[in-house]
Amino acid sequence: MSLSTRWHWLARQLARQLWLTALLYALAALASVLLAALIAPVIPPIAAQYVTPEAADRVLGILASSMLAVTTFSLATMVTAHGAITGSTSPRATTLVLDNETTRHALGVFIGSFLFSLVGLVALNAGVYGEHGHVLLFAFTVLVIALIVVALLRWIDHLSHLVRVSETTERVEAAACAALLERARHPGLGAKPCDDIAARIPEGARQVTAGQVGYVRHIDVPALLALSCDCDVDLYITAVPGAFVDLSSPLVKLAGADSDSLEVEQVRAAFAIGATRTFDYDPRFGLIVLAEIASRALSPGVNDPGTAIDIIGRGTRLLTRWIEAEPWDADIADGEVRVWFPRLSVDDLLDDLFSPLSRDGAGSLPVQVRLQKALASLARLDDQALRAAAVHQSRCAWERARHALALPFEREQLESLVLPPVERAAGDSPG
């Protein structure tokens, strides 16, 4: 298993675009109108006795006017929801909440049905359907109305919980979980995973810089694997998805007798760099957004420690699932692979999630108690690196809280939960 190819990744990004879904529904509506015109000659005359052209014209007119209003209202609702989500959670979470299948389907149906009714009216009044074709047009209109009813019901249900903080945190957690599990099951994403890639890179390795400024969004690992085989070189990836790069930042370092024969643009073409981070292959970004939501909840203007406590629980669940997931041997033991990829750092993950919480919630005893219990839960998992990182975060949180908590009995209560140094936590005895 590896990262998808660049074309597959671009196709996934395109499929999430709202305009594409609306365009597909509009094309389907146009095709149905044209299909009705083509099939019109085979419609039996008796069917025209039940539906008149005037009836089809009236229904299409009502549909056109109502769908225009519904589409305008829906777009206005999305703009309002965007502002509400930005103000209550994090601006980085809006893409997950608004760019979803329900929203794309609903707006696609509304816009498509509007265009269907317009094209149907034009074709009907132009005499395209002949004497009996309006019957089939009317039947298609009934089907479109059924689609609209289903889309409206789903859209109303979606709007009823669209701007809830819990809805946003659930979507961010799901995105972070997918990225974490992908990295847990495939640590090298198709390449060889490496804990300390800087120590592995040989001296004199050739450096390929980014050549632009932005965040790494996607790496075409299959393309890099092909380059390493074709040019007989070893590739060491130094900029993973989520990394910020500038003109001089190294993307890859090359080692091998024929490394000079490899064109820089060939390597750069495997990296997709954009202005913002994405959730797909960047598990740290999901944890950062969760921490942002918790920090906003702990701000004096909001003062919602319950949301911060909820985020701590979600983060603990995410990290536990990441540690417990089993890696695939194919990613680790393939001796033919000559591309190395840095592993996720457990210190970075815990720092992304818990450092903002311990800083902004330093003066809140309930938040600090929940944080210490969460870190104790992580420390009990069978992973030495995670245990050491949890102990470090526990003691950092205690140092912040020790100065922020005003009452001595609060400090005493919290101090009893602080994890001991890693030597004692690991059960090592002196001597």
Written as one string, the DSSP assignment of 15-78 is HT-HHHHHHHHHHHHHHHHHHHHHHGGGS-GGGGGT--HHHHHHHHHHHHHHHHHHHHHHHHHH
The proportion of the chain whose per-residue pLDDT surpasses 90, expressed as a percent, equals 42
Whether 158 maps to a domain, the answer reads yes
pLDDT at 424: 41
Banded pLDDT at 25 (limits 50, 70, 90): confident
Average pLDDT over the chain, rounded to whole? 86
3-state percent helix, strand, coil for the chain, nearest multiple of 5: 65, 10, 25
State whether 127 and 60 are in the same domain: yes
What per-residue confidence (pLDDT) applies to 23?
81
Contact 77, 159 (CB under 8 A): yes
| Alpha helix positions (H), 165-282 | 165-185, 197-200, 221-231, 264-268
Question: Cβ neighbours of residue 41 under 8 Å, at least 6 residues apart?
Answer: 130, 132, 133
In a domain, 183, yes or no: no
Q: Is residue 180 part of a domain?
A: no
Domain shared by 396 and 290, yes or no: yes
263 and 287 both lie in a single domain: no
List, for residues 313-371, the tens digit of each pLDDT value: 999 999 999 999 887 755 455 557 788 999 999 999 999 999 999 999 999 999 999 99
Q: Are 219 and 282 in contact (CB under 8 A)?
A: no
What range does the domain containing 248 cover? 190-274
Contact 237/191 with Cβ under 8 angstroms?
A: yes
**pLDDT over 60 (residue 258):** yes
pTM summary value: 0.84
Number of independent structural domains in the chain: 3
Phi (first) and psi of residue 196, to 5 degrees: -125, 85
Q: Angle 53-88/165-185 helices, nearest 10 degrees?
A: 80
Q: Indicate whether 369 belongs to any domain.
A: yes
For residues 14 and 61, membership in a common domain is answered with: yes
One domain for residues 19 and 159: yes
Instruction: Decide if pLDDT at 377 tops 90.
Output: yes
Q: Let me know if residue 332 belongs to a domain.
A: no
Q: Are residues 13 and 158 in the same domain?
A: yes
pLDDT of residue 430: 32
User: Shortest CA distance to 262 belongs to which of 291, 237, 227, 225?
Assistant: 227
Of 145, 163, 181, which closes a domain?
A: 163
Last residue of one domain, picked from the residues 229, 259, 274: 274
Of 256, 274, 292, the one marking the end of a domain is: 274
Question: Comparing 92-101, 112-121, 389-398, which segment has the lowest mean pLDDT?
Answer: 92-101
Q: How far apart are the first and last CA of the chain?
A: 46
pLDDT of residue 43 exceeding 80:
no
Q: What H or E segment, with its residue span, contains residue 158?
A: helix 133-160
Same domain for 310 and 233: no
* Paired tokens of 157: 């249900």
Q: Are residues 147 and 122 in the same domain?
A: yes
In a domain, 83, yes or no: yes
Task: For residues 127 and 220, state if they share a domain.
Answer: no
Q: How confident is the model at residue 380 (pLDDT cuts 50, 70, 90)?
A: very high
Q: How far apart are CA 139 and CA 272, in angstroms?
A: 47
- Tokens linked to 154: 């789903």
Query: Strands 244-245, 192-194: parallel, antiparallel or unpaired by DSSP?
Result: unpaired
Q: What is the dihedral of CA 377, 378, 381, 385, to 10 degrees?
A: -150
For residue 164, what pLDDT is reported? 84
User: Does residue 1 lie within any of the structural domains?
Assistant: no
Distance CA 371, CA 361 (A): 9
Backbone CA torsion sign across 305, 412, 346, 318: negative
What is the rounded average pLDDT of the residues 99-128? 84
Task: Provide the β-strand partners of residue 209.
Answer: 250
**260 with 290, same domain?**
no
pLDDT value of position 334: 53
Residue 169 lies in a domain: no
Average pLDDT over residues 226-249: 90
- Band (pLDDT 50/70/90 cuts) for residue 421 is confident
User: What tokens were used for 169?
Assistant: 């945190």
| CATH number of the domain to which 260 belongs | 3.90.1170.30
Based on the fold, state whether residues 13 and 141 are members of the same structural domain. Answer: yes
Kind plus residue range of the DSSP H or E element containing 244: strand 244-245
130 and 73, same structural domain?
yes
